[in-house]
């Protein structure tokens, strides 16, 4: 495990700073911003509350909460979130987390299928915190989850290495158009860390093929990926889901830049395609190219602002630089965007 800690320290851009002393790392997330976030979304039990979705909790939110607590350099809050995660969601026998937890229902877990992006985020945050804070129990838990992901949801199909969104329901024979993927589940910055935790050439192939598929998924007049995509033949929006660039897909450009992807053509196409009037991002109906919902919250707008910073050197507007929590999802994206720009592109502040 000590050797793994050293390897993790020297991994990719995404984790290169984790083994520096806290005071020597990038700015991360300020105590004020984290305090505002946790006051609104972190329950005393350690669960992150999705107040835009009936106040449920889910593995994605727990993973985001762990990552943000790490970036805020707050071990106590990290442990609180991890306690809830491991006692309430890590109930499956395959090492992955049940994805949905509802406080209004007993038993609280209302869907025991996993969500692979949540698992990736949890394992990634555990690895970062375990490395930075010399917590071998976090590292061991991260390695178990990485191996479980590799064993159960990283698959090979038609020459591609793919990340199934969940163990059940997305591949054949569960779906005639399977495999079905969600492009926003590729947390690119986490994948090199998974390769250290559970060594396999499949991780690099997963990252490469995810980027290749993003290049190919240019649906409708705006040339955008869909939230849910069938790869049974040629990539196409999956049956049974709205054919849209929706709330899931909005985070794809942020994931790309946080992982150090500098493909200006890809980033610019995504930014242009998801932008409606006056620079406001939107969910997009793929067949018509028309906006479905305008997303003026600074937490959504910062995605485009970060891409503009990376591709054009544009400074973030004041509205994006100032964090004030609104709803769980845009607030989370806002902090991830600010942490990235503060560390890697302070000239944009």
Q: Which residues face 48 on adjacent strands?
A: 42
Q: Which residues face 160 on adjacent strands?
A: 157
Residue 97 to residue 100: CA distance in whole angstroms: 9
Token pair for residue 5?
């800690």
Token pair for residue 109?
């877990």
The length of the chain in residues reads: 349
Q: List, by residue number, the catalytic residues.
A: 60, 117
CA contacts within 13 A on the Cβ side of 177:
14
Q: Which of 156, 104, 107, 147 is nearest to 126 (CA)?
A: 147
CA 339 to chain centre: 14
Residue 104 to residue 184: CA distance in whole angstroms: 28
DSSP code, position 73: T
Angle at 249 between CA 245 and CA 252, to 5 degrees: 135
Residue 50 to residue 41: CA distance in whole angstroms: 7
Residue 126 to residue 341: CA distance in whole angstroms: 22
């Amino acid at each position: 495990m000590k050797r793994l800690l050293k390897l993790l320290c020297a991994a990719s851009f995404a984790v290169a700073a984790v083994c520096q002393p806290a005071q020597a790392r990038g700015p991360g997330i300020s105590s004020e911003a984290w305090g505002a976030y946790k006051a609104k979304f972190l329950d005393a039990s350690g669960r992150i509350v999705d107040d835009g979705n009936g106040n449920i909790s889910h593995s994605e939110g727990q993973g985001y909460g762990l990552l943000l607590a790490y970036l805020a350099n707050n071990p106590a809050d990290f442990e609180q979130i991890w306690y809830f995660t491991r006692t309430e969601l890590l109930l499956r026998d395959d090492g992955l987390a049940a994805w949905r937890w509802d406080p209004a229902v007993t038993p609280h877990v209302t869907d025991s299928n996993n969500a692979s992006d949540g698992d990736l985020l949890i394992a990634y945050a555990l690895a970062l915190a375990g490395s930075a804070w010399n917590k071998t129990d976090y590292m061991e838990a991260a390695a178990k989850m990485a191996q479980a992901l590799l064993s159960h949801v990283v698959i090979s199909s038609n020459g591609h290495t793919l990340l199934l969104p969940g163990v059940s329901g997305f591949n054949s024979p569960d779906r005639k158009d399977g495999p079905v993927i969600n492009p926003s589940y590729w947390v690119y910055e986490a994948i090199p860390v998974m390769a250290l935790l559970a060594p396999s050439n499949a991780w690099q192939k997963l990252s490469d093929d995810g980027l290749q598929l993003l290049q190919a998924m240019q649906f409708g007049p705006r040339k955008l990926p869909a939230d849910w995509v069938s790869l049974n033949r040629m990539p196409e929006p999956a049956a049974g889901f709205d054919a849209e660039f929706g709330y899931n897909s909005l985070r794809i450009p942020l994931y790309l830049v946080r992982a150090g992807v500098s493909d200006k053509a890809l980033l610019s196409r995504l930014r242009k395609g998801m932008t409606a009037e006056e620079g406001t991002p939107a969910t997009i109906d793929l067949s018509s190219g028309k906006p479905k919902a305008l997303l003026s919250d600074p937490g959504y707008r910062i995605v485009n602002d970060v891409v503009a910073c990376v591709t054009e050197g544009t400074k973030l507007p004041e509205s994006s630089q100032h964090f004030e929590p609104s709803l769980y999802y845009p607030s989370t994206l806002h902090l991830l965007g600010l942490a990235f720009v503060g560390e890697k592109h302070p000239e944009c502040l």
